[in-house]
Amino acid sequence: AGPGLVGSLLVGATTARALAFARGIPLLGVNHLEAHLYAHFLPGAETQGFRLPAVCLIVSGGHTDLVLWRDHGCLEVLGRTRDDAAGEAFDKVARLLGLGYPGGPEVDRLARGGDPSAISFPRAYLEEGDDFSFSGLKTAVATFVRRAGGSLRPADVAASFQQACTEVLATKLVRAGCREGVHGVGICGGVAANSALRREVADRARMAGLTAWFPDPAFCTDNAAMVASAAWYALDRSVAWLEPWVDPNLPIGQAGDHGDVRPRHLGTSPRT
């Protein structure tokens, strides 16, 4: 299983294997990033009617991946960040403003009292492609904060940064949804709980004639329910592990198959 910190993955995989052996039940490998996608199948007011195919954005502290989800076991990564993840940028801005950790919720709360048009921070669209870049935005905020000194209005900085970030995320997500001809678009991962991002995606999807789905905020951050959801839909395609095996860099489309450790992976399909 993976991706993630290798020590944590090893502890989890070893514990799971012991429980599976003791209870005589199958042990399934689950891809952490795909588990975030399966939060769309959990109960929630804004996930009702979710269906595939869809284009979904996995956005967290460690990942920003745009995924075409054709069907269960049929996934394709359309784009990803070339440098910093969106959640990493939120955490950095939170530190610059003296806020707590994790930074996403803190920036979101502070931004509600600020003007999102007060500061013109850069938007990196990368020649209209599907990849993302947030290092420039992060640097621009750091430079602004350093130069502002005593005149700094933290709420305006938070709101303007958040607007720049969510505009890029929502624009690329909805544009990909229109291009791929899917039923709708969704967001998941810790940053998907951000209120401004949810509004931006909902507004742009509505204007484009697409349905927008959002997991309940409780299911956006890492949680066991999303892992169970992914495992439930993988039951008919997976077999028991023989040994616990983990990969801290496991890509989307694989659930941990290696050597004698063979859960049938959630395969990707080639771009057509």
pLDDT digits (tens, 9 = 90+) for 120-172: 999 998 777 899 999 999 999 999 999 998 889 999 999 999 999 999 999 99
Residues 50 and 155 in one domain: yes
> How many domains are contained in the chain?
2
Residues 77 and 46 in one domain: yes
Domain range holding 120? Answer: 36-219
Confidence of residue 238 (pLDDT cuts 50, 70, 90): low
Residues 1 and 67 in one domain: no
Does a structural domain hold residue 55?
yes
Q: Are 56 and 69 spatial neighbours (Cβ–Cβ below 8 Å)?
A: yes
Residues 124 and 167 in one domain: yes
Question: What distance, in Å, lies between the first and last C-alpha atoms of the chain?
Answer: 28
Percent of all residues in the chain with a pLDDT value above 70, rounded to a whole number: 90
Does a structural domain hold residue 195?
yes
Does a structural domain hold residue 144?
yes
Confidence of residue 244 (pLDDT cuts 50, 70, 90): low
Residues 251 and 139 in one domain: no
Residues 252 and 171 in one domain: no
Cβ neighbours for 12, distance < 8 A, ≥ 6 positions apart: 1, 246
Q: Return contacts of 253-258, CB within 8 angstroms, 24+ apart.
A: 253/31, 253/34, 253/75, 253/77, 254/31, 255/1, 255/28, 255/29, 255/30, 255/31, 255/34, 256/1, 256/2, 256/29, 256/30, 256/31, 257/29
Residues 21 and 109 in one domain: no
Does a structural domain hold residue 115?
yes
Residues 168 and 246 in one domain: no
Residues 150 and 172 in one domain: yes
Does a structural domain hold residue 16?
yes
Residue 132 sits in a domain whose CATH number is: 3.30.420.40
Does a structural domain hold residue 230?
no
Query: Is it the case that residue 269 has pLDDT exceeding 50?
Result: no
Residues 120 and 2 in one domain: no
pLDDT, one tens digit per residue, over 165-224 is 999 999 999 999 999 999 999 999 999 999 999 999 999 999 999 999 999 999 999 999
Does a structural domain hold residue 233?
no
Does a structural domain hold residue 208?
yes
Residues 113 and 84 in one domain: yes
Nearest to 61 by CA among 40, 99, 91, 38: 91
Query: Is it the case that residue 265 has pLDDT exceeding 50?
Result: no
pLDDT, one tens digit per residue, over 38-65 is 999 999 999 999 999 999 999 998 899 9
